[in-house]
Amino acid sequence: VKFVDEFRDPAAARRLVREIGALAEEDRHYKFMEVCGGHTHTIYRHGIEQLLPDNIELVHGPGCPVCVIPMGRVDDAIHVAEHDGVVFTSFGDMMRVPGSQGDNLLAAKARGADVRMVYSPLDALEIAREDPSRDVVFFAVGFETTAPSTAVTLLKARTLGVENFSVFCNHVTIVPPLKAILDSPDLRLDGFLGPGHVSTVIGNRPYRFVPRDYGKPLVTAGFEPLDILQSIQMLLAQLAEGRCEVENQYTRIVRDEGNPRALEILAQVFTLRPHFEWRGMGFISQSALQVSEAFAAYDAERLYEVPGVRVADPKSCQCGEVLKGVIKPWECKVFGTACTPETPIGTCMVSSEGACAAYYNFGRLRHAAVPDDVTALPVA
Amino acid sequence: MNDHDHEHESARESVVLDKIERMRRRRPRLKDDTVTLAHGAGGKASAALTDAVFLEAFRNDTLEPLGDAGLVELPSGERLAMTTDSFVVNPWRFPGGSIGSLAVHGTVNDLAVAGARPRWLTVGFVLEEGLPVDELRAVTKEMAEAAERAGVTIVAGDTKVVGTGAADGLYINTAGVGVIPPGRDLGAHRVRPGDKVLVSGSLGDHGMAVMLARGDLNLEADIVSDSAPLNGLVETILEAAPDTRWMRDATRGGVGTVCNELAAASELGVVLSERALPVHRPVAGACDLLGIDPLYVANEGKLVAVVPVEQARAALEAMQGHEHGHEAAVIGEVREEPPGMVVIATAFGGSRIVDMLVGDPLPRIC
Residues of B in contact with A51 (CB under 8 A): 348-350
Which residues, 6 or more positions from B272, have their beta carbon under 8 angstroms from its beta carbon? Answer: A374, B197, B259, B331, B332, B342, B343, B344, B345, B354
The pLDDT of A275-294, averaged and rounded, is 92
Residues of B numbered 118-157 whose beta carbons fall under 8 angstroms of chain A's beta carbons: which are they? none
| Residue in A45, A96, A337 closest to B19 by CB | A337
| Residue in B31, B216, B332 closest to A374 by CB | B332
pTM: 0.85
| Residue in A107, A330, A370 closest to B36 by CB | A107
Is B351 at the interface with chain A, CB within 8 A? yes
Q: Is the pLDDT of residue A353 over 80?
A: no
**Residue type at position B188:** A
- A320 HSE (CA, 13 A, CB side): 19
| Residue of B128 and A305 predicted with greater confidence | B128
Residues of B in contact with A110 (CB under 8 A): 34-37
Residues of B in contact with A48 (CB under 8 A): 348, 350
Backbone angles phi, psi at A254, to 5 degrees: -95, 130
Q: Which helix (H) or strand (E) holds B94?
A: strand B93-94
Task: Select from B275, B346, B356, B364 the residue whose CB has the most chain A CBs within 10 Å, as the one to mutate to test that interface.
Answer: B346
- Its sign, for the CA torsion B333, B338, B343, B345, is negative
Q: Do B346 and A47 touch (CB under 8 A)?
A: yes
Is B310 at the interface with chain A, CB within 8 A? yes
pLDDT of the residue at A3? 45
CA distance B226 to B204: 9
- pLDDT by residue for chain B (366 residues), tens only, comes to 455 666 777 788 888 888 887 877 777 778 788 888 778 877 777 888 999 999 999 999 999 888 889 999 999 999 999 999 999 988 899 999 999 999 999 999 999 999 999 999 999 999 999 999 999 999 999 999 999 999 999 999 999 999 999 999 999 999 999 999 999 999 999 999 999 999 999 999 999 999 888 876 667 788 999 999 999 999 999 999 999 999 999 998 899 999 999 999 999 999 999 999 999 999 998 888 877 889 999 999 999 999 999 999 999 999 999 999 999 999 999 999 888 999 999 888 888 999 887 655 544 544
Nearest CA in chain A to B311: A380
Q: Do A361 and B353 touch (CB under 8 A)?
A: yes
Residues of A in contact with B16 (CB under 8 A): 330-331, 335-336
Is A261 at the interface with chain B, CB within 8 A? no
Q: Is the pLDDT of residue A113 over 60?
A: yes
> What is the per-residue pLDDT across A61-96, written as a single tens digit (0 to 9) for each?
888 888 889 989 999 999 999 999 999 999 888 888
Residues of B in contact with A111 (CB under 8 A): 34
Q: Which helix (H) or strand (E) holds A50?
A: none
Nearest CA in chain B to A9: B348
Nearest CA in chain B to A28: B1
| Residue in B10, B35, B350 closest to A369 by CB | B350
Residues of A in contact with B13 (CB under 8 A): 328, 330, 366
| Residue in A10, A92, A109 closest to B348 by CB | A10
Beta carbons of A239 and A192 less than 8 angstroms apart: no
Residues of B in contact with A380 (CB under 8 A): 313-314
Which residues, 6 or more positions from A254, have their beta carbon under 8 angstroms from its beta carbon? Answer: A196, A199, A200, A203, A204, A220, A248
Q: Is the pLDDT of residue A257 over 90?
A: yes
Residues of A numbered 1-20 whose beta carbons fall under 8 angstroms of chain B's beta carbons: which are they? 1, 4, 8, 10, 13-14
Give the residue from B165, B175, B199 showing the smallest Cα distance to B328.
Answer: B199
Both ends of chain A: CA-CA distance in Å? Answer: 36
Q: Strand locations in A41-80, DSSP E? A: 56-63
Beta carbons of B335 and A91 less than 8 angstroms apart: no
DSSP B29: P
Inter-residue long-range contacts of B255-258, CB under 8 Å, 24+ positions, other chains counted: B255/B199, B255/B203, B255/B295, B255/B299, B255/B302, B255/B304, B255/B331, B256/B293, B256/B295, B256/B296, B256/B342, B256/B354, B256/B357, B257/B42, B257/B43, B257/B296, B257/B356, B257/B357, B258/B304
Beta carbons of A256 and A246 less than 8 angstroms apart: no
Task: Select from A93, A94, A370 the residue whose CB has the most chain B CBs within 10 Å, as the one to mutate to test that interface.
Answer: A370
